[in-house]
Structure 1
């Protein structure tokens, strides 16, 4: 049943609650529009299109606080009507206080795909020692210590961010001890803030992580902690607060999306241990002024099943934006259109900034920049005729994404040496060697395929 604050004496509102993989938490409420007091409350909601903003759902073994409810659909039948609500945020616990208050929390935790492997954090430590056993046999005593690892923290504006581990029993039956050991991203404000404020800060870290790994770091779960979701005793006192599951309509698609390759990324540009709190604070401070070159590339990495043309366009948008902000570099004069900068100029600046060796496929940075810019412009402008060759587009997308990832990460203080090492590593060579194997090279500023 659904509990609201309008009229405590009114009959209960009954209905169903479920999670839609694309829309989030939905509720369907049956009612009869006229002639019965039993359905007077939901009838009024849907006839006037004014449902309560917040509701509490209770069933035999489930309590869910629903925030930001809005009507999305009404169906009028011959005998029974049905109204549907979409919920902006749902917390799987009952909140104390006024049900009509907006949802504000002090702490939000996000589970990110690939974070545990990249960070190297774990709650479990173990050691072993030999023990005395009968002759001809070997024995060891293994000791496990399980304790949350507090990782490290940094400031992002008014939010204190932290990478830490959460462990819990996973509910499997004996024999054995079964634990789930997660690494999470946590934000905490001094005063309760809307969930959207927390997510703004979480996305800044998620975008950096995506660029470093080269794969989409998706949100596959959230939880919140706040005193209004505290643990109460019979005397009404609150004794701390536990972490409660949260589903937000803005991120629920990530929870059900096909698992990305973030957990399988063996070649990050930077190891998490090489990121200092100062690096992360700097990144967050620069983020808002850098969105034009961060978001196109990061969003491409975070989507699955992206067309090669989309990769070229989005990566090239980022390259144009960052190339314009870098300023002139040596040797760019051949890329200019008279005295004006061209798309080739921006590609050239990025190539020179990260310093990849493309001599195996191109006659120099200018030639490679022209080929990448030409592929981008041919895809973008309809008056250029057909789309470029598919194989050329695939490699242009791979090269462009690799270049912009390195160029953005290189901006972090102290990251230049790590990016230089990465530029000469296998992930970059793999693209070059793949082009050689497929007979793709650059001639006269264009991609071409040898027989």
Structure 2
């Protein structure tokens, strides 16, 4: 039987557990993966009152299973790391129990070296929503030969994973790279053509350390596409997971699937609609290696801008008022980081100090976009955003703003924070290049204002506009 290459939701694998301790007998166990609990190992055992030398019983009675385990199955070996106790039950009449273990990570393959070592790997590859659409990478090239009448006589398909783009994030070397896999199907072979995000460190690092760098990229993708972006699959590559012959000669160091509890629930999330992925705010020529490096370098400093905005983008069905508050928190943080801009004095308090509208104004100006089709002035639009946000936030402002106004303000803020994210990655002054695809989203926003017959005046109030 061929070694297993994938584990998916609903799969169940039965085998024998090895704890790495000499002379300890192997234990039967079943590994499952489902959407609710992620990875879970069920282990039947004999209660310690009936079997005094049963080490498996001690795992569950003491709520302390081995940190690392190896599941040996007919489909190959599966390494389990960071194992934790997740409950047990015992049939007291017969002294038979079933214990549950939750691994933090699972790798499809056997690892060389000390069984007790934590999982540290040099490379992690992630499949993330939107990567192919952003990069345009593909491993498949097709060419054909036609006759004089234009009929196809010959088709040549070339498969090669050669397209990539690299940059640095601290001590990690990052890249987008095309990749492909041949999968047997009933009628022949199917080609899975994908694009992966790969991180590589000089020395082995934890999965969490790799994911910290991958999440920076995933967050930028959320801004670019304006929707939730999820991890779909992870794979690791490291010399300790080498492919060997029976004589222990290394023939390959392949990528092997890894499942981590930190992202396993992402895999079952709905895939973003095609229409969202077809229109990123900016494409690969703008979001190049230099832009990704700049985004990474600014990530910590701009965290107070990034994280509230991501919360809004990742909850498209949330209450409108909550989305406005989150986006406003981001814009207030961004306004502080941007600093003073020309013309902001018109937004100051009577005492000459910046106020909420000032921070909103700085963000609108920093985008470099012309907002005149929605408002009489940028100052007025900034004040309208501030009015809506403050009325929602402060209980003494009376009733909440109208749902229509909140919807229009929230949609405007959504686009502003996305544009600011692109600016953070690529501060070019050429807005026609930066936001070449943005006109699609802006036209939708302009249409929303027009459909409701509204426009924002210089005072920050919504007025009727035929």
- TM-score, length of structure 2 as denominator length: 0.88
Closer, same or farther: CA 353–58 of 1 in aligned 2, 3 Å: same
Task: Identify the range of structure 1 (122-131 vs 357-366) with the bigger mean alpha-carbon deviation.
Answer: 357-366
- The aligned residue for residue 296 of structure 1 is 308
- The aligned residue for residue 5 of structure 2 is none
Give the distance between the partners of 2:208 and 2:424, measured in 1 at CA: 27
Q: Does 1:349 align with 2:362?
A: yes
Q: Does 1:56 align with 2:70?
A: yes
- The aligned residue for residue 55 of structure 2 is 41
- The aligned residue for residue 114 of structure 2 is 98
Q: Does 1:114 align with 2:130?
A: yes
| Contact preservation (8 Å) 2:357, 2:383 | yes
Identify which of 22, 30, 33 aligns with 1:16.
30
The SS at the match of 2:111 is coil
Task: Identify the range of structure 1 (301-310 vs 207-216) with the bigger mean alpha-carbon deviation.
Answer: 301-310
Give the distance between the partners of 1:129 and 1:342, measured in 2 at CA: 67
Give the distance between the partners of 1:423 and 1:17, measured in 2 at CA: 46
| Contact preservation (8 Å) 2:282, 2:438 | no
Alpha-carbon shift at residue 261 of structure 1 (Å): 3.2
Closer, same or farther: CA 263–445 of 1 in aligned 2, 3 Å: closer
Which residues in structure 2 correspond to 1:239-318 (within 5 Å)? 239-261=251-273, 264-303=276-315, 305-318=317-330
Alpha-carbon shift at residue 412 of structure 1 (Å): 3.0
| Contact preservation (8 Å) 1:354, 1:423 | no
Give the distance between the partners of 1:363 and 1:23, measured in 2 at CA: 53
Alpha-carbon shift at residue 414 of structure 1 (Å): 5.0
Q: CA RMSD for the aligned pairs? A: 2.6
Give the distance between the partners of 1:257 and 1:39, measured in 2 at CA: 45
| CA deviation map 1:382-431 (0-9, x unaligned) | 44444433232222221111001112211334533146655972311211
| CA deviation map 1:14-71 (0-9, x unaligned) | 2322113244211222334333339822321122121111111223225321111111
Gaps of 5+ in 2: 1-14
Closer, same or farther: CA 400–240 of 1 in aligned 2, 3 Å: same
The SS at the match of 2:384 is helix
The SS at the match of 2:301 is helix
Task: Identify the range of structure 1 (441-450 vs 148-157) with the bigger mean alpha-carbon deviation.
Answer: 441-450
- The aligned residue for residue 9 of structure 2 is none
Closer, same or farther: CA 415–45 of 1 in aligned 2, 3 Å: same
The SS at the match of 1:182 is strand
| Contact preservation (8 Å) 1:148, 1:165 | yes
Give the distance between the partners of 1:268 and 1:416, measured in 2 at CA: 19
Identify which of 221, 232, 235 aligns with 1:220.
232
Closer, same or farther: CA 6–35 of 1 in aligned 2, 3 Å: farther
Gaps of 5+ in 1: none
Q: Does 1:191 align with 2:203?
A: yes
- TM-score, length of structure 1 as denominator length: 0.91
